Amino acid sequence: MSIPTGTRLLQDPRFNKGTAFTTAERHALGLRGLVPPGILDIQAQQARMLATLQRQANDLERYVHLISLQDRNETLFYRLVIDHIEQMMPLIYTPTVGQACQRHGHIYRRSRGLYISLQDLGHVRECIANWHNDDVRVIVVTDGERILGLGDLGVGGMGIPIGKLSLYTACAGVHPQACLPVTIDVGTDNAELLADPFYLGLRQKRERGPDYDRLIEEFIAAVQERWPGCLVQFEDFANQNAFRLLDRWRGRICCFNDDIQGTASVTLAGLLSALRVTGGTLADQRILFLGAGEAGIGTGDLVTASLMAEGMSEAEARTRCWFVDSQGLIVQGRERLTEHKKHYAHAHPPVKELLSAVQTLRPTALVGVSGQARSFTQPILAEMARINPRPIVFALSNPTSKAECTAAEAYAATGGRAVFASGSPFAPVEFGDHVLSPGQCNNAYIFPGIGLGVVASRARRVDDEMFIIAARTLARQVAQSDLDCGRIFPALSRIRQVSREIAIAIAAHAFDRGLAGIDRPADLGALIDAEVYDPSYRPLVAQAAAAR
């Protein structure tokens, strides 16, 4: 790879070191006079950036500064995120990324990734050909229709693929140059965006007919043609397309849907960890979900698959999962149920309200994936505590403003007995004479490790078993010290080690099932480690000389 020089080097985020270029590099690479004479190493640059972030008025401004850093100095950006992951993850992903998506046209600075719109129908291969990198291994793609719990944000949804791929690198070490964020723009039904003079997407109602499918088909074909075997992660598609696209492509290309499968995997891991506190087995549980969309049904399906792997019949396994949607409890005889909901329509009288469902079903775990803020009310939480010594309460909707309850509300209503997890982070809560540190049920514990394992093994497919393996591997990484402080997931500071263990397990499965595209090495750990990107400044003079 050739090393640019002069101003082109300073404009290339792959190689730019800003004020960290050594004197020798400044002389050899045409930088004399182009940067201030003072030299700051990467540690000093991090300290300077942290001070800059602290001075900003709010998290959205911090997000803008971080994305600007990513655009000009990739190495420093990832070093900063990795070394301060607990502070940085809420800024580069949920909850702040939701605000960034809503304000996309207002904070736009520089294009990142590919925007493929209906105007490109028939020319998608040209769009794909315009990308600069010939070795893309992971694509995250959205159509912007269901961004977190915020709904249709159109082209503004690009913040999600960008953020997810940043986590692939920060949390697992997938090389940033192997990652490509993509937004499919088919319009938006968000009237506020269509009226916004700074909206940057197509100004039309969302396409839902044949042209939508043709655009997706053309996109997948163009990706497979240029980057055969590339992992495609579907992200934040609305229910009607999410399940349909996954069912269409999962057996044909290397792909998965993070909202369906990734969320299911991290939630299953949370349940397995919670059982170390509450006692019992997964087969003993009755799980009540508020929300029957991608995350809820996906988790129900994975819980079912996990129980079937332990010997339970499918019919019996499904009875461990119950769902409440906007019409009430999903039961047999209810009209207009989608095919995915029908699997969980059990024999039971109709129940309209969540509190009544809790009272009637007596669940051991309550999982919120509804996007309905504060829907876990004090009476509901108190009822969970009345029927369970240690009620499991997961308020998983993102961003924070959409959470079904806060950590403080869950602990207060249950006398501190709730085993709680949330989708977005909550601060530790003082309760009585001790402090409870709620765990974050974050997909970032799952998808980066799966992606790294798939990339390293050159897996041709992502099968359902991989998500069970990832969940069990993650649950094993939870230490007793985590459980003792109320956390059912490992500390975020350990996420790179957690991702490594998941990647090894996924690669082993790929080799065991004949899914891998390379011969099995003797040391899977070494295979994974060889793929991991370590953001540190490397001497460029020798590289430039070697390239010449």
Catalytic annotation, residues:
93, 164
Dihedral, 11, 12, 16, 18 alpha carbons, nearest 10: 20
Contact 478, 526 (CB under 8 A): no
- Name residue, tokens 């329509």: 345
Checking DSSP bridges between strand 138-142 and strand 114-117, what pairing results, if any?
A: unpaired
Q: How would you classify residue 449: left for phi > 0, otherwise alpha for psi between -120 and 50, otherwise beta?
A: alpha
DSSP 3-state helix, strand, coil percentages of the chain (rounded to 5)? 50, 10, 40
And the tokens for 21?
């270029």
Q: Which of 424, 442, 431 is nearest to 408 (CA)?
A: 431
- Name residue, tokens 């090894």: 504
Residue 59 CA from chain centroid, whole number: 19
Q: Is 415 exposed, middle or buried (0-12, 13-18, 19+ CB in 10 A)?
A: exposed
Round to whole Å and give the CA distance between 180 and 177: 8
Among positive and negative, which fits the CA dihedral 313, 319, 325, 328?
Answer: positive
Contact 393, 418 (CB under 8 A): yes
Identity of residue 77? F
Sheet architecture: strand order including 138-142: 114-117, 179-185, 138-142, 231-234, 255-257
Q: Which of 159, 31, 14, 171 is nearest to 96 (CA)?
A: 159
Q: Supply the DSSP string of 391-435, one letter for each residue.
A: -EEEE--SSGGG-SS-HHHHHHHTTT--EEEESS----EEETTEE
**Taking CA 253 as the corner, what is the angle to CA 250 and CA 258, rounded to the nearest 5 degrees?**
50
Round to whole Å and give the CA distance between 471 and 446: 8
- Name residue, tokens 């042209």: 211
**Taking CA 108 as the corner, what is the angle to CA 73 and CA 164, rounded to the nearest 5 degrees?**
65
Identity of residue 368? G
Round to whole Å and give the CA distance between 454 and 15: 27
Identity of residue 65? H
Round to whole Å and give the CA distance between 443 and 126: 33
Round to whole Å and give the CA distance between 46 and 209: 49
What are 139's strand-pairing partners? Answer: 180, 232
